[in-house]
Structure 1
Amino acid sequence: MSDASTSPPFIPPPLPGIHGNSTYMNFEFSFLTLPALLLFVPIIYMPVTIIIILRIFVKLLYAVKDKNVNVPLFSAICIAQFMCLLFFVCDYVYLRMMTAGVFTKWCANVNPNGYLIILYVMTYYVNYATMLFPFLVSSMRIVLFVFPQRHSKINAMILRTALPIIFIYPWFSLFFMVTATGYCTQAKGPYPFGSVILGFQGSLFGLRNGMFLLGNNLFWMSATVINNLILLVKLIHLKTSLSIHARSQKSHKAEVSLTFTTFSMIFSYLSNSMVVITNQLGGDLTWYAIMLRPFGNDLETCVVPWVFYLTHPVFRRKSVGVIPVLQRDKINFTPP
Structure 2
Amino acid sequence: MNNVSINGDERYINYKFNPFIIPVYAAAFPLIYLIPTVFIILKIIRVYIGVIIGKQKDTIMNPNVFTVIVFQLSSNFLYMLSDYSTIRLPSTGIMTSWCASQQPNHGLKILFFSSVYFNYTTMLFPTLLSALRLIPVYKPMKLEQLCSRLVRICIPLILIYPFFFTFPIFPALGDCRQLLGAYPFGSIYVYWSHSWFDLKLSGFLLCNLVFWLIVCTIMNIVLYRKLESLRNKNKSCKIRKAEISLTLTTISMLSAYITNLALVIVAIYWPFLAVYLVAIRPYGSDCDFVLVPWMFYLTHPIFKEKEIVPTQMRRIPTDNSDVP
Instruction: Please give the TM-score of this superposition, normalised by the length of structure 2.
Output: 0.89
- 1:230 corresponds in structure 2 to 222
Offset of 1:190 from its aligned partner?
2.6
CA spacing shift, 1:190–1:237, aligned 2, 3 Å: farther
- 2:187 corresponds in structure 1 to 195
CA spacing shift, 1:238–1:266, aligned 2, 3 Å: same
The runs of at least 4 aligned residues of structure 1 exceeding 3 Å deviation read none
Give me the whole-angstrom Cα distance separating, in 1, the residues matched to 2:34 and 2:144: 32
Name the amino acid aligned to 1:73. Answer: V
Q: Deviations over 1:177-215 (max 9, x none)?
A: 122112211111232111111222211111011111211
Offset of 1:129 from its aligned partner?
1.7
Offset of 1:231 from its aligned partner?
1.4
* C-alpha RMSD of the superposition: 1.7
- 1:305 corresponds in structure 2 to 293
Mind listing any 5+ residue stretches in structure 1 that lack a counterpart? 1-14, 321-336
Alignment coverage as a number of residue pairs: 302
Equivalent positions of 1:235-314 (< 5 A) are 235-239=227-231, 241-242=232-233, 246-282=234-270, 284-314=272-302
Give me the whole-angstrom Cα distance separating, in 2, the residues matched to 1:219 and 1:229: 16
1:18 and 2:6 correspond: yes
Instruction: Please give the TM-score of this superposition, normalised by the length of structure 1.
Output: 0.86
Q: 1:49 aligns with which of 37, 43, 48?
A: 37
1:66 and 2:53 correspond: no
8 Å contact kept, 1:267–1:296: yes
Q: Which region of structure 1 is more displaced relative to structure 2, 87-96 or 274-283?
A: 274-283
Offset of 1:284 from its aligned partner?
4.1
- 2:119 corresponds in structure 1 to 127
Give me the whole-angstrom Cα distance separating, in 1, the residues matched to 2:275 and 2:77: 24
Offset of 1:117 from its aligned partner?
0.8
- 2:82 corresponds in structure 1 to 90
Offset of 1:110 from its aligned partner?
2.0
8 Å contact kept, 1:142–1:231: yes
8 Å contact kept, 1:117–1:180: yes
- 1:11 corresponds in structure 2 to none
SS state at 1:198 partner: strand
Q: 2:304 aligns with which of 316, 331, 336?
A: 316
Give me the whole-angstrom Cα distance separating, in 1, the residues matched to 2:45 and 2:191: 36
Offset of 1:137 from its aligned partner?
0.5
SS state at 1:296 partner: helix
1:136 and 2:105 correspond: no
Give me the whole-angstrom Cα distance separating, in 2, the residues matched to 1:181 and 1:60: 39
- 1:28 corresponds in structure 2 to 16
Mind listing any 5+ residue stretches in structure 2 that lack a counterpart? 309-324
